[in-house]
Amino acid sequence: MKVLYFSWIKDNIGKNEEDLSLNDNIKTISDLINYLITINENYKKAFSDMSIIRFSKNMNLVNIDEMIDNDDEIAFFPPMTGG
């Protein structure tokens, strides 16, 4: 799975993308986040306020309970603004 990070999420984690292989316990975006925050404090800080993070799966906006698998591209980013 390719995981992309944007804006201050990228800044907190220290990378803009990574490739992960999911185990069978990670079935949703929520599960993925719960896994990521165990990696280190940078991830924990980046995902500390889930109300200000949006998600996409294969370039489509989705909810936190969206099902995922190893063939997906998941992106995390702050809310978008118009202009």
Q: Is residue 20 part of a domain?
A: yes
Structural domain harbouring 6: 2-77
Q: What is the DSSP letter of 46?
A: H
Q: What are phi and psi of 70, to 5 degrees?
A: -65, -15
Per-residue pLDDT of the chain (83 residues; tens, 9 = 90+): 999 999 999 999 999 999 999 898 999 999 999 999 999 999 999 999 999 999 999 999 999 999 999 999 999 999 876 55
Q: CATH no. for residue 45? A: 3.10.20.30
Report the predicted TM-score, pTM, of the whole model to 2 decimal places: 0.92
- Beta strand extents in 1-83 (DSSP E only): 2-5, 17-19, 54-57, 60-62, 73-77
Q: Domain tally for the chain?
A: 1
Q: Is residue 83 part of a domain?
A: no
Q: Is residue 10 part of a domain?
A: yes
CB 77 within 8 A of CB 47: no
